[in-house]
Amino acid sequence: MQKKGTILSGMRPTGALHLGNYLGALENWIRLQDDYNCFFFIADYHALTTGYEDTGELKNNITDLLAGWLAAGLDPNKSTFFIQSDIKEHAELHLLFSMIVPLSWLYRCPTYKDQLSQMKDKNITTYGFLGYPCLQAADILMYKADFVPVGEDQLPHVELTREIARRFNFLYGCELFPEPQSLLTKAKVLPGTDGRKMSKSYNNTIAFSDNPETVNKKIMSMITDPARIHKTDPGHPEVCTVYAYHKIFSENEVPEIEHQCRNGEIGCVACKKKLAANVAKVMTPIYERRQEWVNRLDDIRDIINEGNKKARSVAQKTMAEVREAMKVGW
> Is 261 near ligand SF4 (CB under 6 A)?
yes
> Is 243 near ligand SF4 (CB under 6 A)?
yes
* Residue (208 or 249) nearer to ligand TRP, CB: 208
* Residue (119 or 227) nearer to ligand TRP, CB: 119
The widest CA-to-CA distance across the chain, in whole angstroms, is 81
> Is 29 near ligand SF4 (CB under 6 A)?
no
Residue 304: name its binding partner from ligand TRP, ligand SF4, none (Cβ under 5 to 8 Å by kind): none
CB of 282 to ligand SF4, least distance (A): 19
Quick one: which of 8, 66, 242, 286 contacts ligand SF4 (CB under 6 A)?
Answer: 242
Q: Name the phi and psi angles at 88, rounded to 5.
A: -65, -20
* Residue (205 or 224) nearer to ligand SF4, CB: 224
Binding site for ligand TRP (CB under 6 A): 8-10, 12, 43, 46, 136, 139-140, 148, 150, 154
CB of 269 to ligand SF4, least distance (A): 8
> Is 219 near ligand SF4 (CB under 6 A)?
no
- Report which DSSP code applies to 196: S
In sign, the C-alpha dihedral spanning 283, 215, 200, 190 is: positive
Q: Which residue is nearest to ligand TRP (CB)?
A: 10
* Residue (231 or 312) nearer to ligand SF4, CB: 231
Quick one: which of 12, 18, 228, 290 contacts ligand SF4 (CB under 6 A)?
Answer: 228
Residue 218: name its binding partner from ligand TRP, ligand SF4, none (Cβ under 5 to 8 Å by kind): none
Select the span of 97-105, 152-160, 223-231, 293-301 touching ligand SF4 (CB under 6 A): 223-231
Q: Are 11 and 46 in contact (CB under 8 A)?
A: no
> Is 218 near ligand SF4 (CB under 6 A)?
no
Q: Are 316 and 89 in contact (CB under 8 A)?
A: yes
> Is 268 near ligand SF4 (CB under 6 A)?
yes
* Residue (177 or 287) nearer to ligand TRP, CB: 177
User: Which residues inside 102-121 make contact with ligand SF4, applying CB under 6 A?
Assistant: none
Quick one: which of 235, 282, 283, 300 contacts ligand SF4 (CB under 6 A)?
Answer: 235
Quick one: which of 38, 150, 271, 303 contacts ligand SF4 (CB under 6 A)?
Answer: 271
In sign, the C-alpha dihedral spanning 9, 12, 13, 18 is: negative
Residue 268: name its binding partner from ligand SF4, ligand TRP, none (Cβ under 5 to 8 Å by kind): ligand SF4
Q: Give burial (CB, 10 Å; 0-12/13-18/19+) of 195.
A: middle
Q: Are 69 and 42 in contact (CB under 8 A)?
A: no
* Residue (162 or 272) nearer to ligand SF4, CB: 272
**Bridge partners of residue 148, in order along the sequence:** 182
Select the span of 175-183, 265-273, 303-311, 320-328 touching ligand SF4 (CB under 6 A): 265-273
CB of 112 to ligand SF4, least distance (A): 39
**From CA 47, how far away is CA 78, in angstroms rounded?**
26
Query: Where are the strands (E) in the chain, listed by range?
Result: 6-11, 37-42, 80-83, 147-150, 181-184
End-to-end Cα separation, the chain, in angstroms: 41
**From CA 32, how far away is CA 148, in angstroms rounded?**
11
Please report, as a single letter, which amino acid is at residue 11: M
Q: Return the closest-CA partner of residue 171 out of 318, 327, 319.
A: 327
User: How many CA atoms within 13 Å lie on the side-chain side of 232?
Assistant: 0
**From CA 4, how far away is CA 90, in angstroms rounded?**
25
Q: Give burial (CB, 10 Å; 0-12/13-18/19+) of 291.
A: middle
Query: Given the rule CB under 6 A, which residues bind ligand SF4?
Result: 224-225, 228, 235, 237, 240, 242-243, 261, 266, 268, 271-272
